[in-house]
A and B are shown apart, each in its own frame.
Chain A
Amino acid sequence: MTRLSKRGSTKPPGNVGYWKRNLVYLTILLSIWALVSFGFSILLVEPLNRIRWGGFKLGFWFAQQGAMYVFVVLIFVYVRLMNRLDRDYDVDERDDS
């Protein structure tokens, strides 16, 4: 995929490419979201519980701790990715807008 102009260009913003890339990010991040919550913590909890992680059974740890840590990280990763994407496609809000 070709990145469009950097800031300062007079071309109209490449909304189609911007939106497609956004959807790719969403698909990847929400797959991880579903994997740690519905996957590791619910559907796969029994097999994972056979693995010990210190005093925790791994499936139980994901259900009551791990999934929540991953959720927080996912949002901040999304914020970084999107801030960069906004700049690359020159659609970020300027201070005067």
Chain B
Amino acid sequence: MSVQSWTFIMVATSFALYIGVAIWSRAKSTGDFYVAGGNVSPVVNGLATAAGWMSAASFISMAGLIAFMGRDGSVYLMGWTGGYVLLALLLAPYLRKFGKYTVPDFVGDRYYSQVARVVAVICAIFVSFTYVAGQMRGVGIVFSRFIGVSIETGVVIGMGIVFFYAVLGGMKGITYTQVAQYCVLIFAFLVPAIFISLLLTGNPIPQLGFGSTLSDGSGVYLLDRLDGLGQELGFAAYTDGQKGTLDVLFITAALMVGTAGLPHVIVRFYTVPKVWQARSSAGWALLFIALLYTTAPAVAAFARANLLTTVSNQPYSDVPAWFSNWEATGLIQFDDKNGDGLIQYTGPRSDIPNELTIDRDIMVLANPEIANLPAWVTGLVAAGGLAAALSTAAGLLLVIATSVAHDLFKNSFRSDISEKTELRIARITVGFAVVVSGYLGIHPPGFVGEVVALAFGLAAASFFPAILLGIFTKRMNSYGAVSGMIAGITFTTLYIAYFKFLYPELNSADHWWLGISPEGIGTVGMLLNFAVSGVVAWLTPPPPVEIQRFVEEIRVPRKLA
């Protein structure tokens, strides 16, 4: 059977599975719709959190990104996992004890302020829309590359699926489809990785193969070979860093804290029944995430080694078939500058001009073909990429719907609406959000890639300090929290807008403040938030006694007498 028919079978089977799960787990109340009835088990919640967290970017782009960045790729690996430690230890158990539906709920109640609630709602909606547009685009790209339909058709099919189970099942439907999607995506990521690890190093475990000797009989370690080959071609050694140390530190911290502050991640901890389960489901989530995240750097190194040995300095006339296949999509481009018929792939330190341009997404998508794996593996990778994109999109759409129906409508404007009406508004909002995100997927505004830094920066500079201070200090009042959030958001947005939109030509280490890139500035925004909150709270009266009592209440698992 051809790659295309295998892909079709894999994708169709996985979609049928998601729809079946969605019908089985329909939502009947707002509790079902917002937090899956609040009775999800920790392991199931861990699986759903992991699927919701790992997006098209984690599945398709991250390994390729690391292959080109070498050691600096660790900012993503540590940044997108380390945040779960902060979540588990500092936020999740207390938010579970608080026990309402959303992040703006907590901010609004703890700081007894509609202003605080509305600031939080705006951040939540902005962060989620930024993200979801990228996911829909990912769905379209996978469809167009593997099934041969246009990106637009792909986005519309993806919208249809998400619309179906998000509107019908809410958080309950999303939780159980995410479990299925995790299984599909992890299987799709590990199978090619294991094959390639065996092929290159003879070790079936990619995490170990990564540090093994090559099986070509040379007895040389894979990473040493990569360092050597890269340097010969004028690249930096693979295990060396290129970015400034302070910048790496700040980017890693911003991604960690941003992860802990992202509303679609936090809301998952409201779905378990007890405080201890909120703690342990963060552990399960990170375990399931780490399974992919520790494999990704190995895949990156394997792909890099394959690229340098099979393509570099080879005659263009006898490149392998995958090279020509992907050249047709425009993701590989070869320009024979010196006309010698050989592919010169060289780095910035080489005298020979580079002739090869490679899109980073290829590293995962073309992996099965590079390693000569059977056609069904390629089909599986397509289904995995779709699972990653759809599961993340669904979680984000739900945050948007909850923010509008619950935080804005019910808690800010009309507290008298019935549960039935609230549920209807939530469903209509999901439907509306699916359509808007689909539109953004088909007509992506040029800034989608750029604003992802902003999404993390904003989460780091707004929610994380506000929630943390709300739990760990009784003295923090609404004046402090609101001015801290506004200071953090304003600073972070201005810094990123300055370098990304106003003066993109200045966006280099020479012009950055202290060498901190826009990706890492969220950390400074967070520190600023802490500082402003502290000073303002110190100058203004303490919060009312019932709020201090509220803080004592959320600090212990059992209801106080």
Contacts and interface: CB of A to CB of B under 8 A. Distances in A.
A pairs with B: yes
Interface of A: 12-13, 15, 18-19, 22, 26, 29-30, 33, 37-38, 41-43, 45, 49, 53-57, 60-61, 63-65, 67-69, 71-72, 74-76, 78-79, 82-83, 86, 89, 91-94, 97
Interface in B97-116: none
A72 B557 contact: no
Interface residues of B, number: 52
14 contacts: A26-B90, A37-B82, A42-B245, A54-B221, A64-B66, A67-B81, A71-B85, A75-B85, A75-B89, A79-B279, A79-B283, A82-B276, A86-B557, A89-B556
Given A71-B82, A71-B84, A79-B276, A12 B239 contact: no
Interface stretch (B157-165, B287-295, B499-507, B528-536): B287-295
A92 to B, nearest CB: 6
Which secondary structure dominates where chain A touches chain B? helix
B414 interface: no
Contact of A13 (B73, B275, B556): B556
B74 A64 contact: yes
Given A45-B241, A54-B211, A64-B77, A30 B89 contact: yes
Given A64-B71, A68-B81, A71-B85, 19 more contacts: A15-B556, A45-B71, A49-B239, A63-B78, A64-B73, A64-B77, A65-B207, A67-B82, A68-B77, A68-B293, A69-B294, A72-B290, A75-B286, A78-B279, A78-B283, A79-B88, A86-B276, A91-B558, A93-B274
A63 B93 CA distance: 28
B386 interface: no
A64 B282 CA distance: 21
Given A43-B245, A72-B290, A55 B77 contact: no
Contact of A61 (B211, B280, B286): B211
Given A75-B282, A93-B558, A33 B85 contact: yes
Nearest to A23: B472
Given A37-B82, A43-B245, A91-B556, A63 B222 contact: no
Given A67-B82, A68-B81, A92 B73 contact: no
Contacts of A67: 74, 77-78, 81-82
A72 B211 contact: no
Contacts of A56: 210-211, 223
B92 to A, nearest CB: 10
Identify the 10 closest CB pairs spanning chains A and B, nearest first.
A55-B221, A55-B211, A63-B74, A75-B283, A64-B297, A91-B556, A60-B239, A56-B211, A75-B88, A91-B558
Given A60-B71, A63-B71, A38 B252 contact: yes
B213 interface: yes
B539 interface: no
A74 B557 CA distance: 20
Contact of A69 (B93, B224, B290): B290
A30 B252 contact: no
Nearest to A63: B74
B514 interface: no
Given A63-B77, A92-B557, A75 B276 contact: no
A39 B368 CA distance: 36
B373 to A, nearest CB: 24
Contacts of A60: 71, 223, 239
A13 B239 contact: no
B290 A53 contact: no
B248 interface: yes
A57 B275 CA distance: 40
B530 to A, nearest CB: 15
Contacts of B283: 72, 75-76, 78-79
Contacts of A65: 207, 210, 294, 297
A93 B212 CA distance: 48
B335 interface: no
Contacts of B555: 15, 19, 22
Contact of A91 (B73, B74, B274, B557): B557
B1 interface: no
A12 to B, nearest CB: 6
Contacts of A55: 210-213, 221-224
